[in-house]
Amino acid sequence: MTDRPHSTRFINGRIYRDAGGRILADTLVTQGDAIHFVGSRNEAPAAETTVDLRGAVVMPGLTDAHIHLFGLATERLQVALDPASVKSVAALLDCVSSTAQRSPQGRWIRGVGFDENGLPEHRYPTREELDATAPDQPLVIRRFCGHTAIVNSAALRVLGIDEEVSDPVGGSFGRDPAGRLNGIVKESAADAVFRKMPQVDRALVANSLRSTIADAMRLGLTAAVEAAVGFTSGFDEEHATWELLRSDRSRLRLGFMYRLDPREALARKLAPHRSPDWQTNSLKFFADGIVGARTAAVTTAFHDVGGNGFFMRDEEELEHAIVEAHLGGWQVAVHAVGDRAISRVIGAFERAQKVKPWSDARHRIEHYTCPPMGGLPRMKQVGAIVVSQPSFLSVMHRTTVEAFGPEAESKYPARSVLDARVPYVSSSDAPTGEFSPWVGMANALDRGADKGKPLGSSEALSRRQAVRSYMHGGAYAMRQETWRGVLEPGMAADLIAVDRDAFDASVDLKSVMVLMTMVRGAIEHDVIGSQASAAAGSMH
Ligand SMILES: [Zn+2]
């Protein structure tokens, strides 16, 4: 029981201590789950195992501060209808049709990843087209954003939705020009559909989650925040599935945001809990919709289709929930995309801080896409942070330009956030954004230039700022920056080795390959492992 913890010595590395951008050491020694030594090889203490890094670059592990691991895991169990998998509406229908032919009558077909922006036709399949390809099986196609879905007639039948249905608060059932349901369901109407559908087998999802987490570590993540437990399959189902993983001692450090009102959390006997492994101290709320569906609550009408979007719930009630969560000691995370929604949420943070000051609350606004006038100084004042998704600049380039016209340049602020001294934290929001943090970093620099004109070049981050937003940003959002995210003695042994220097201005960040990932002192991903030698006693 009193065994000394296992120690590993990494030699011949190019070691960055943090995102400061200077190589300071060639050797690093870990002991147990902590870093023991960083410096030069001739001063390094002995260790049980030695790994020759052969010049690989070492840096602190990355954090994805807003990801939907559960969503990624369930997508892997479904029919991929993203533009990379099906390249046209016709190909999509073919894919659905062949799935339908292989599936028993009555079994649900679940398609995911649909994005009309990536298809040459730029349109949704019609209800009639879907009925022709899957006449006997209920079919639901989830748009990649998760806020919109398309269903066929069999699904409407099974769900008990008929032509008489009226729109719920905060959502809509689409209709064709003749007034007949067209199968498109948005926001709370889509939510109701997802909730009423039968669940995918829990053990199957848990297994898929395990492999999704392994992939996250392969990409260089050592921590991640599940951005809304309850967003994909409902809170209780998702919570129960995560509980199956808890005993795995999954190495990835996890944080969870519960998509619950404080009262619902209380009813489930859930209280904010901070932990280095399995942290559950945040509640997630949705203030408004998204740009893609033009449901974000904006002041200026959308450039292409008009309209000002809407709030997902009553504004007063939202504010009440935020204040109540704050008083309960929860970190509050609010999805807010449109400037109207963002301003309203900041107002709720201000009210909460007035009722009970909490200088280090670190409440979060997720997305912060359309910055309201004067919003950042108010964010600074209440100690709130911006959690952004730089890969949206590429993934949603087209949508952003169409929705905002010339004003698109001012969306997805980044540099101005840092200039206002508001913490700027990067994340993927996968599967909506790109899973890889390296793609996110690249887009933080190029502002989506791979899809056309860069969106707001003046908002581009420097390379160091971009790396730091994944290296330090997420740790800060999780309140873990005092013990991880920097490679120095006593800090957590959460680190990665990569094949090229991310701080070198000539390196394309998208091409960075992660060779090794260590979390809590254990190597979880390793393509240089063949060089590791269990060389106890032979240190030189
Ligand atoms: Zn999200």
Residues 185 and 210 in one domain: no
**How far away, in angstroms, is 146 Cα from ligand 1 center?**
9
**How far away, in angstroms, is 473 Cα from ligand 1 center?**
17
Residues 173 and 243 in one domain: no
Q: Which residues are registered as beta bridge partners of 60?
A: 495
Q: Which residues are registered as beta bridge partners of 51?
A: 10
Where a domain ends, among 196, 224, 254? 196
Q: Which residues are registered as beta bridge partners of 59?
A: 496
Query: Residue 69 falls within a domain, yes or no?
Result: no
Q: For strand 181-187 and strand 139-143, is the pairing parallel, antiparallel, or unpaired? A: unpaired
**How far away, in angstroms, is 311 Cα from ligand 1 center?**
17
Where a domain ends, among 175, 196, 217? 196
Query: Residue 67 falls within a domain, yes or no?
Result: no
**How far away, in angstroms, is 352 Cα from ligand 1 center?**
24
Residues 397 and 307 in one domain: yes
Sign (positive or negative) of CA dihedral 290, 295, 298, 301: positive
Q: For strand 148-151 and strand 171-175, is the pairing parallel, antiparallel, or unpaired? A: unpaired
CA distances from 3 to 7, 31, 206, 505 (A): 11, 12, 33, 45
Domain of residue 110 covers 78-196
**How far away, in angstroms, is 299 Cα from ligand 1 center?**
23
**How far away, in angstroms, is 165 Cα from ligand 1 center?**
29
**How far away, in angstroms, is 355 Cα from ligand 1 center?**
29
Residues 444 and 531 in one domain: no
Query: Residue 1 falls within a domain, yes or no?
Result: no
d(CA 99, CA 105): 11
Tokens of 7: 């120690």
**Nearest residue to 429 via CA among 61, 81, 62, 65:** 65
**How far away, in angstroms, is 191 Cα from ligand 1 center?**
14
Residues 100 and 208 in one domain: no
**How far away, in angstroms, is 102 Cα from ligand 1 center?**
32
**How far away, in angstroms, is 367 Cα from ligand 1 center?**
8
Query: Residue 73 falls within a domain, yes or no?
Result: no
Residues 461 and 406 in one domain: yes
C-alpha triplet 211, 215, 221: angle, nearest 5°:
130
- In this structure, the number of other CB atoms found within 10 A of the CB of residue 160 comes to 8
The tens-digit pLDDT sequence of the chain (540 residues) is: 346 689 999 999 999 999 987 887 999 999 999 999 999 999 999 999 999 999 999 999 999 999 999 999 988 888 999 999 999 999 999 999 988 888 778 889 999 999 999 999 999 999 999 999 999 899 999 999 889 999 999 999 999 999 999 999 999 999 999 999 999 999 999 999 988 888 788 988 999 999 999 999 999 999 999 999 998 888 999 999 999 998 887 789 999 999 999 999 999 999 999 999 999 999 999 999 999 999 999 999 999 999 999 999 999 999 999 999 999 999 999 999 999 999 999 999 999 999 999 999 999 999 999 999 999 999 999 999 999 999 999 999 999 999 999 999 999 999 999 999 999 999 999 999 999 999 999 999 999 999 999 999 999 999 999 999 999 999 999 999 999 999 999 999 999 999 999 999 999 999 999 999 999 999 999 998 644 444 433 333
Q: Which residues are registered as beta bridge partners of 367?
A: 336
CATH number at residue 342: 3.20.20.140
**How far away, in angstroms, is 170 Cα from ligand 1 center?**
18
**How far away, in angstroms, is 437 Cα from ligand 1 center?**
15
**How far away, in angstroms, is 68 Cα from ligand 1 center?**
6
**How far away, in angstroms, is 343 Cα from ligand 1 center?**
19
Residues 349 and 455 in one domain: yes
pLDDT of residue 3: 60
Query: Residue 105 falls within a domain, yes or no?
Result: yes
Q: Burial code of 117-127, b = ≥16 C-beta within 10 A, e = fewer?
A: ebbeeeebbbb
**How far away, in angstroms, is 285 Cα from ligand 1 center?**
11
**How far away, in angstroms, is 443 Cα from ligand 1 center?**
18
**How far away, in angstroms, is 227 Cα from ligand 1 center?**
6
d(CA 266, CA 59): 40
Tokens of 306: 């008009």
Cβ neighbors of 198 (< 8 A, separation 6 or more) are 108
Sheet of 364-367: strand order equals: 62-67, 221-229, 253-258, 278-286, 331-336, 364-367, 385-388, 424-426
- In this structure, the number of other CB atoms found within 10 A of the CB of residue 508 comes to 11
Tokens of 454: 């860069």
**How far away, in angstroms, is 335 Cα from ligand 1 center?**
8
- Percent helix / strand / coil, the chain, rounded to 5: 35, 25, 45
**How far away, in angstroms, is 54 Cα from ligand 1 center?**
38
Task: Using a CB cutoff of 5 Å, list residues around ligand 1, an ion.
Answer: 227, 429
Residues 303 and 205 in one domain: yes
**How far away, in angstroms, is 127 Cα from ligand 1 center?**
28
Residues 140 and 220 in one domain: no
275: left (phi over 0), alpha (psi -120 to 50) or beta: beta
Long-range CB contacts for residues 497-501, cutoff 8 Å, separation at least 24: 497/10, 497/13, 497/53, 497/56, 497/57, 497/58, 497/528, 498/56, 498/57, 498/58, 498/59, 498/220, 499/56, 499/57, 500/57, 501/14, 501/57
Place of tokens 């991640």: 224
CA distances from 105 to 100, 147, 159, 380 (A): 8, 27, 16, 56
C-alpha triplet 301, 303, 306: angle, nearest 5°:
45
If DSSP codes are grouped into helix, strand and coil, which group holds residue 36? strand
Is residue 331 a contact partner of residue 274, using CB atoms and an 8 Å limit? no
Residues 173 and 294 in one domain: no
pLDDT of residue 24: 79
If DSSP codes are grouped into helix, strand and coil, which group holds residue 417? helix
**Nearest residue to 196 via CA among 241, 251, 236, 158:** 158
**How far away, in angstroms, is 231 Cα from ligand 1 center?**
9
Tokens of 49: 């195992």
Tokens of 443: 């887009």
Is residue 107 a contact partner of residue 98, using CB atoms and an 8 Å limit? no
C-alpha triplet 423, 428, 429: angle, nearest 5°:
100
d(CA 389, CA 227): 12
Query: Residue 483 falls within a domain, yes or no?
Result: no
Residues 181 and 218 in one domain: no
**How far away, in angstroms, is 66 Cα from ligand 1 center?**
6
Tokens of 293: 């569906």
d(CA 509, CA 365): 26
**Nearest residue to 38 via CA among 491, 467, 485:** 491
Question: Alpha-carbon Rg of the chain, whole angstroms?
Answer: 24
pLDDT of residue 434: 96
d(CA 70, CA 229): 8
Total domains in the chain come to: 3
Where a domain ends, among 162, 196, 230? 196
d(CA 363, CA 352): 10
Tokens of 400: 């952003």
**How far away, in angstroms, is 12 Cα from ligand 1 center?**
39
Q: For strand 62-67 and strand 221-229, is the pairing parallel, antiparallel, or unpaired? A: parallel
d(CA 462, CA 460): 7
CATH number at residue 42: 2.30.40.10
**How far away, in angstroms, is 230 Cα from ligand 1 center?**
11
CATH number at residue 127: 3.10.310.70
pLDDT of residue 104: 79
**Nearest residue to 537 via CA among 35, 9, 2:** 9
Residues 158 and 36 in one domain: no
Q: For strand 253-258 and strand 14-16, is the pairing parallel, antiparallel, or unpaired? A: unpaired
Query: Residue 355 falls within a domain, yes or no?
Result: yes
Query: Residue 68 falls within a domain, yes or no?
Result: no
